[in-house]
Amino acid sequence: MKTSSFHIVPLPTEIADAARRAVNGGTADHALITVDSPGSSPCRHCLRWAQPGERVILFPYAAIPPGHPYSETGPIFVHADGCQRYTATNEYPADFRNGRVFRAYDSNHNIIDAQVADGSEPEVVIESLLRNPDTAFVDVRSVTRGCFTFRVQRA
Ligand SMILES: [Zn+2]
């Protein structure tokens, strides 16, 4: 399903590359992990599940930067050995259609609404959150673990 009212914002390549440099430098809060089960480690750069045998880096990421009441830093994965940043930014990523919560933020980084898909298509949930003119962006997270997956911005 193509979207017209929003686009997908994967993790910037410079952040993925910085994590790759940090793990090679032995930074304590960057862990190098070999994936052993499918559907366990979503890469925030290519927006695919890492496959068993692939190596990923687990590190903390400030999805909502410091200096706001809703500031939030949490663990994310990226492929350790390089991957192409997700390019189909007008299509909701197929790997993450289930198990996500959608949080709407205003332009001051305050959470103003949140929904789980509950059987609806993710596009329908996102479009309903964007109907509120105060919604500046929507962050998509794991409904079980709470981890940031990707951002959605108005087109
Ligand atoms: Zn990747």
Give the global pTM. Answer: 0.94
Cα(124) to ligand 1 centroid in Å equals 26
Cα(69) to ligand 1 centroid in Å equals 30
Q: What is the pLDDT along the chain (155 residues), one digit of tens a residue?
A: 566 789 999 999 999 999 999 999 999 999 999 999 999 999 999 999 999 999 999 999 999 999 999 999 999 999 999 999 999 999 999 999 999 999 999 999 999 999 998 788 999 999 999 999 999 999 999 999 999 999 999 98
Cα(49) to ligand 1 centroid in Å equals 8
Cα(84) to ligand 1 centroid in Å equals 7
Cα(126) to ligand 1 centroid in Å equals 24
Q: What is the mean pLDDT of the chain?
A: 95
* Number of separate helices (H) and strands (E) present in the chain: 2, 10
Of the chain, the percentage scoring pLDDT greater than 70 comes to: 98
Cα(95) to ligand 1 centroid in Å equals 12
| Token duo for residue 10 | 């994967």
Cα(56) to ligand 1 centroid in Å equals 8
Q: 55: which residues sit within 8 A by CB, 6+ positions away?
A: 32, 33, 34, 35, 79, 80, 81
- 93-109 burial code (b ≥16 CB/10 A, e <16): beebeeebbbbbbbeeb
Q: CA-CA distance, 61 to 73, in Å (whole number)?
A: 5
Region of 98 (left: φ > 0; alpha: ψ -120 to 50; beta: rest) is beta
Whose tokens are 């862990």? That residue is: 31
